[in-house]
Amino acid sequence: MRAVVVPFVPALAATLGVALALSVASPAVAGGPAYEAQARSLVSGGQTRHYLLATPTAAPAGPLPLVISLHGDGGSGAGMRAALPLEAAAAGAAVFAYPDAAGGTFEYWNDAGRQREATFVTDLIAALDAELDLDTGRVYLAGFSGGATMANALGCRLGDAVVRKLGIHSGSLYPVQVAPGVNDFGYTGNGGVDCDLPGAMLVWGTNDATPGVDYATGQNIRDNHTATQQCEATTTPTTPAPCVAYAGCAQPVEWCAVAGLGHAVWNQAASAMWRFFAADASGPVDPPGALWGDGFEGGAAPAPTRWVGGYHVGYERNLYPVADIDFDAITHLMVGRVIPNADGTLARHFDIDNVNGPLWAQSAIDAAQAAGRKAILMVGGAGEIAGWRAAADDGTRAAFVANLLDAVDDFGADGLDIDWEPLDTQDHADVLALLQALRSARPGLLLTMPVMWINSNIEWNPRPVGEAAFLAAAAPLLDQVNVMTYEMAAAYEGWHSWFASPLYGEAANTPSSVESSVAYYRGAGVPAAKLGIGIGFYGNCFRGVSQPRVPVVPGNFVVSDGAMSYRNIVSSYAPAMTAHYDAVARAPWLGSAAMAGPSQCNLVTYENAASIAEKAAFVDAEGLGGTIIWTVGQGHLPDAPAGQRDPLLDAVREGFLE
């Protein structure tokens, strides 16, 4: 099957702004008596957004899916509810939200607008999930005309990790520029798009002659979807006629070409789309949420499962033998590391040697997969920036991508962790090109990327130019963006002594916290569901200061990763120091007027079970995706009694996975 790339001419934007208005071909049908609608508002990105929320009047047996239905240009949420009567088709089996576009038209024509809408949609999902305990594995976007164009753009930008399927009725699909020479997505060689596009039902009238969304364009957009999902050319009729389903798709694609219909809502579109959405299996059944019908019924639901990515590196293999790893406490084992060489090849010694390193890595990958967990190859890390920049350059990128994929195949890994440190403005274009090449070559490959914590004194510590645009473009290509929220303090100029991983409490002289770093990345366009935090199984050692919030000078910060593993803190520092817990930062610390332990510390900040529980609650409240751990080996206590050897992993499991 040949898929056709749909060009977008910027001059058409003004035409589309008029042409994509809602036209109704059938009588308006409001939701039936099984639903109650409420006018709602939500502040997102500093802007008050309005929407209609329709919930079943009867409490459901378990969490329901959410359908967000987007109106055409110049329309309204109420108009969309009437024109596409999905509630009648669902008969109480879903929750529906009908947003009003802030200016009457959803902002699909430029990057900034798309990002505002993406932030709004993720904020809306999080708010409704917190209230109603939704099945967040079944979130659907439907739209007509300009709303469908917005749904397509959001499908690419948020990806199938956030949006399960799309219902596209007469809406376009095209990329927009996010930085000079960089678009939010591109086209693959077969005419697909290189983003995590969800499965889709596409509905079009054969008589639609509207510029930019005419029937011929609709056929091309259909071909973009089928090429993206690697569908076969054969189809099977579905209901209602004339809809057909393509065979062999990675994610489902259906096409409904309605004879004689112009640019108007097909009177059977709601039943077709609901049948397409309802085909998905439910997620785990939890108790219903709080607000249903006209009362507050039911209790708080259990926290949804998050990811836990535990790094295990070759040089720590003796700290935590593969056979001892508690795989019940992690979902992904990040096996480190392969290192980029300047010529695009990879060093595979895993910080051991060229023979024993790969053998150890293979044993770790095999053990993770045998336990039903994903195994990710860590690439790079601190100190490898020269290799990254040379290998990902235009002249060597193709060979580098091939070598990365060879490593995935040779070890049987499930994905790659792109640990590019530091990530500066000069790197943005090459990182995006690398991610796009990997995603295009292997659409199902898990791709994760760790990013740095944020110094909240941004006026004095500016972020790299163009970082927000880079993040907005990179997020759809990645499955996880994990903030390395550990070792967030040292004896920096102007700083006071502070915590290794404070959850809250950043201030002028202690300008770091998990909360402020997460807020930065969310504001820059990373969807909450793709964003994770970091937990360090090690701490920081200060000498010359014995408590937090005391001015520091060079020399006060002594050592951290490795020497200050949790294992060493428990055995060599805690017995000689006084334990405290900071109620503002939500972090533990040890203090002593006399220097203690091998590194002669007066102040040690670290993680314990209480701080991990607080971080898990924060991740749940913010609707974030999960956490990473650096490193699982540093938290293992081999001499403790059986069942007590991984207290930090136990806390992670209880907080994030139970």
Indicate the domain borders of the chain: 12-279, 304-430
The pLDDT value recorded for residue 379 is 99
Q: What is the mean pLDDT of residues 358-382?
A: 97
The SS3 assignment for 472 reads helix
Q: Number of helices and strands (H, E) in the chain? A: 16, 28
Q: Which of 109-118, 188-197, 568-577 has the weakest average pLDDT?
A: 188-197
Tell me the average pLDDT across 5-27: 35
Mean pLDDT score across all residues of the chain: 90
Mean per-residue pLDDT for 514-531?
A: 94
Q: Which of 31-35, 55-59, 520-524 has the highest mean pLDDT?
A: 520-524
**Beta strand 540-542 pairing with 531-536:** unpaired
For residues 39-65, one letter each, b for 16 or more C-beta atoms within 10 angstroms of the residue's C-beta and e for the rest, the string is ebebebeeeebebbbbbbeeebeebbb
pLDDT at position 571 is 97
Confidence class for position 435, pLDDT limits 50, 70, 90: very high
Domain 12-279 class, CATH top level: alpha beta
pTM over the 0.95 mark? no
**pLDDT for the residue numbered 555:** 93
CA distance linking residue 623 with residue 369, whole number of Å: 27
Q: Are 133 and 296 in contact (CB under 8 A)?
A: no
pLDDT per residue over 215-250, tens digit each?
999 999 999 999 999 999 999 999 999 999 999 999
- How large is the average pLDDT for residues 69-96? 94
Taking residues 346-369, what's their average pLDDT? Answer: 97
Enumerate residues 6+ apart whose C-beta is below 8 A from 589.
499, 547, 548, 579, 580, 581, 582, 603, 604, 605, 606
Average pLDDT over residues 545-553: 96
The CATH number of the domain covering residues in 304-430: 3.20.20.80
Q: Which residues pair with 647 in a beta bridge?
A: none
What's the pLDDT tens digit per position in 247-281? 999 999 999 999 999 999 999 999 999 999 999 86
Residue 507, pLDDT > 70, answer yes
pLDDT one-digit tens code per residue, 318-356: 999 999 999 999 999 999 999 999 999 999 999 999 999
Q: What is the pLDDT of residue 297?
A: 29
**In the prediction, which pLDDT does 281 show?**
63
Residue 468: count other Cβ atoms within 10 Å of its Cβ.
Answer: 21
The pLDDT of residue 103 is: 87
Closest to 532 measured CA to CA, from 225, 246, 311, 377: 311
Element housing 112 (H / E): helix 111-132
Span 157-161, average pLDDT:
88
